[in-house]
Amino acid sequence: MTRRIRFLLVAAILVSGCLLVACSKAAVRPAQPQSTVTGYAARPEVRQFIARLVKQDGFDKTWLEKTLATARMRDAVLAAITKPYEAKPWYQYRALFVNPARVTAGVAFWDTHSALLDKAQSVYGVPRSLIVAILGVESFYGRQKGGYRVLDALATLSFDYPPRASFFQGELEQYLLLCREQSFDPSALTGSYAGAMGVPQFMPDSYRKYAVAFDGRGRPDIWNNWADIIGSVANYFHAHGWRKDGLVAVPASLPAVAAQASTALAPTTVGALREQGLVVSSGLTDDTRAILVPLQLEHGTEYWVGLHNFRVITRYNRSPLYAMAVIDLSTRIADARAAEQGRHAPP
């Protein structure tokens, strides 16, 4: 073998070795770090939401990313919001909330918490029967507070329910603010499919604005502290303009022809309704603000006129059916309790 050939062979071996070393180094070279942002936090619209909250509310970006990464889309939430109870006719809706079980439970609740209810009525001017009825309709006195994680419910409705995305993004922001203020674990709280919390089913914005520590201690606890629960409901109605001893709704009647032409549920006046043929109490002046509330029965329609305090109830839940159920339940609880006390009164 000539010297030249031996030289070429050695050079080839050296080059092969270098290539093998280079390949080996490339094989063990660590992968480029990938983003740890996952789940909702990885979606572009959620990234924009996070950026807005960082700028507007001073949130820590990493905390928001980690929090929203734990949120999960819930099909059950979307199914529930597309089939609300309020879509039912009155005669079906009413039976869900105005029934012997809730009346009996309402009387017992009133008896148990009479001192707190008396105090709330005195401080805020809101009737005890209304407070009791609200808690009965909302959560059956704490028995039905909802089993959805609030974070999941609000994230699902914020980013996977376009019809009300803006509203629920606002509530999600309020929820995150609430958790920061009160040192709540955002992944721990549970509530309704819409993100309503506690016995009175307050949305996060309502908690921040209207929940009160009615017992004078610490932060408001609307999950377990009955003083705070009762006081917070009373404060909510007071803040929204409840008129002490004011009328809520009165029965009315409409001739069939007028009923077909009437615009129901639109804010108007008693005088305008009378011009359409409404027959209503003569004690109401024509300039009284009102809405006509038609209630579908199994056979026919029943009419009521909602007044100022009726509209205040619809600030809690905008459905007129909800307001009527609260009114009906409150009346029945008050009547049942009065009858019970009458039976047990001394001769």
250-286 pLDDT tens trace = 999 987 645 554 445 678 999 999 998 899 988 999 9
> Is-contact 33 152, C-beta < 8 A?
no
Is the pLDDT at 24 greater than 70? The verdict is no
**CATH class name, domain 71-239:** mainly alpha
pLDDT confidence of 36, banded at 50, 70, 90?
Answer: low
Is the pLDDT at 7 greater than 90? The verdict is no
Write down the pLDDT at residue 37. 67
Domains of the chain by residue range: 71-239, 249-306
Is 65 part of the annotated catalytic residue set?
no
pLDDT confidence of 26, banded at 50, 70, 90?
Answer: very low
- Of the residues 45, 65, 86, 138, which is catalytic? 138
How many angstroms separate the Cα of 115 from the Cα of each of 155, 258, 301, 331?
39, 47, 40, 20
> Is-contact 189 79, C-beta < 8 A?
no
Question: Higher pLDDT residue, 136 or 2?
Answer: 136
pLDDT confidence of 47, banded at 50, 70, 90?
Answer: very high
293-333 pLDDT tens trace = 999 999 999 999 999 999 999 999 999 999 999 999 999 99
Integer Cα distance of 327 and 303 in angstroms: 14
Residues 6+ apart with CB under 8 A from 136: 97, 102, 105, 106, 109, 329, 333
Task: Calculate the average pLDDT of the chain.
Answer: 88
Write down the pLDDT at residue 1. 52
